[in-house]
A and B are shown apart, each in its own frame.
Chain A
Amino acid sequence: MWIDRIVELQPGARLVAVKNVSLAEEHLHDHFAADAAHGESALPVMPASLIIEGMAQTAGILVGHTGRFKEKVILAKINKAELSRDAGPGMTLRYTATMERFDPMGASTTGLVELLDHARGGSFGEIGRIDLMFSHIDQNMAGVEFPEHNFVFSESFRTLLRTGGIEAHF
C-alpha cells in the first residue's frame, strides 16, 4: 500500500491519509542511486508516480466508501498532477482527497498533497495537487463481465479501513 493510515473520513466528501517515507523502502535506494562515474551521491526521494498512487488509493477509498464498496473502483484518468517539492526519508506526506462528482458511472476527485519535514518541525505545507477520475468498471465496460467479489478492495484496503476506525462491510 502507498498510504499508511487513514486519519479522517467525512463520508461522501473527504478522506485524509498519511504516508511516512522511509529509507527502509527499497525503491528509494534506486531512486536515485549514487553514480560514482559522475561523482554524484545518492538522492533518495519518493517517486512522483508513487505519490500519485498514494492519492489514488486515498481518493479511491473515498469513492469506494461512498458507493458502500458495491462498485469496483478503478483509476481511469489523471486530470492534473503537480508537485513542487521532493519527499525524502523521514518526511510525512498527507493526502486530502475531496469528492467533486459521484455518479453511477464513476467519480471525480480533487486532491491536496502536503509534506511535513520532521527535521524542520512546524506543520504540513502544500507541495502539490492531484485531481483524478475513477470508473465504476461494471457500469462502463459494456458487455465485459467481472467476478462478483470486489477484487479492487483487497485485504490491505480492509486493514487500512480497520486501523482507521472505519466500519465497512463488503
Chain B
Amino acid sequence: MTRDEVYDKVRNVLVDALSVDEDEVAPDARLTSDLGAESIDFLDIVFKLEQTFGFKIAQGELFPENVAQDPRYVKDGRVTSEGVAALKDRMPHADFSAWEKNPEITKVGEIFTVDAVVKFVERKLSATAAAH
C-alpha cells in the first residue's frame, strides 16, 4: 500500500470518527485542537483503524496512556526529560520537535497529528508484512 493510499484511508477514518470535512484533515492537523477529538474519539479511531487496515492495536500503542499520572514523568505541569524519552520510545511515529521545546503536559495532545497516525499505520503495515 502506498503512502497516498494509507493517507486516504486514514483521512476517511478521521472524517468518519470526528465528523470533520476532508479538507480539514491536513497532515499537520492536530487531532485535539484542530479536529476537535475528545478522549472517546481516540478509542473510536483505534477501532476504525483496526477495521480498515486489518491489524490489532494494543492498548496504549497509538496513544500512550497514564503519562500524566506518573510522578516520574510530570513535574510542575511539565513533562520531565525522562517522560519525554518514554513518550518518544512509545511513539516513534510522532514528531516531538515543536512540543518538546516547551513540554507542558496540558499541550501533549499537540503531538497527535494526522501525520503521526499515518506514520503509525505505515509502521504497523510494514511490521505485519515482515512477520509474514
Contact = CB atoms under 8 A, between A and B. Distances in A.
A105 B66 contact: no
A46 B67 CA distance: 45
A133 B45 CA distance: 11
Interface string A73-106: 0001101000000000000000000001101111
Interface in A150-165: none
Given A103-B59, A108-B47, A76 B40 contact: yes
A76 B40 CA distance: 7
Interface string B60-97: 00000110110000000000000000000000000000
A106 to B, nearest CB: 5
Given A142-B65, A142-B68, A108 B40 contact: no
A48 B69 CA distance: 40
Given A101-B50, A140-B39, A108 B44 contact: yes
B100 interface: no
Interface string A98-125: 0011011110100000000000000000
Interface in B1-53: 17, 39-41, 43-44, 47, 50-51
A28 to B, nearest CB: 31
Nearest to A139: B59
Contacts of A106: 40, 43
Given A103-B59, A104-B59, A135 B40 contact: yes
A106 B42 CA distance: 11
Interface of A: 76-77, 79, 100-101, 103-106, 108, 133, 135, 140, 142-143
